[in-house]
Structure 1
Amino acid sequence: MSTATATSAAPLTTQEAETLIMAARHAAEAAGVTVSVTVLDAGGHLLAFRRDDRAVLISGETSTRKAYTALQLNAPTVDLVDLVKPDGPFHSLPTALDRPLLFIAGGLPIHRDGRLIGALGIGGGTPEQDHAFATTALNTLP
Structure 2
Amino acid sequence: MTTTLTPLTVQDAETLIATAHRAADAAGVTVSVAVLDAGGHLLAFRRDDRAVLISGETSIRKAYTALQLDTPTADLVDAVAPGALFHTLPTALDRPLLFIAGGIPVHRDGRLVGAIGVGGGAPDQDHSFAAAALEALA
Give the 3-state SS of the residue equivalent to 2:136 in structure 1. coil
Q: 1:70-91 deviations in whole A, cap 9, x for unaligned?
A: 0000000001000001121110
Runs ≥4 residues deviating over 2 A? 5-8
The one-letter code of the counterpart of 1:47 is L
Q: Does the 8 A contact of 1:74 with 1:109 survive in 2?
A: yes
Give the 3-state SS of the residue equivalent to 2:57 in structure 1. helix
Give the match for residue 102 of structure 2.
106
Across the two proteins, how many residue pairs are aligned to each other? 138
Q: Does the 8 A contact of 1:8 with 1:115 survive in 2?
A: no
TM-score, normalization by structure 2: 0.97
Q: Distance in 2 between matches of 1:69 and 1:58?
A: 16
The one-letter code of the counterpart of 2:75 is D
Give the match for residue 83 of structure 2.
87
Give the 3-state SS of the residue equivalent to 1:139 in structure 2. helix
TM-score, normalization by structure 1: 0.94
Which is worse superposed, 94-103 or 76-85? 94-103
Deviation at 1:8, TM superposition (A): 4.2
Give the 3-state SS of the residue equivalent to 2:71 in structure 1. coil
Q: Which runs of 5+ in 2 are unaligned?
A: none
Q: Which runs of 5+ in 1 are unaligned?
A: none
Residues 1:68 and 2:61 are matched in the alignment:
no
Residues 1:45 and 2:44 are matched in the alignment:
no
Identity of aligned residues (%): 74
Q: Does the 8 A contact of 1:80 with 1:103 survive in 2?
A: yes
Residues 1:57 and 2:53 are matched in the alignment:
yes
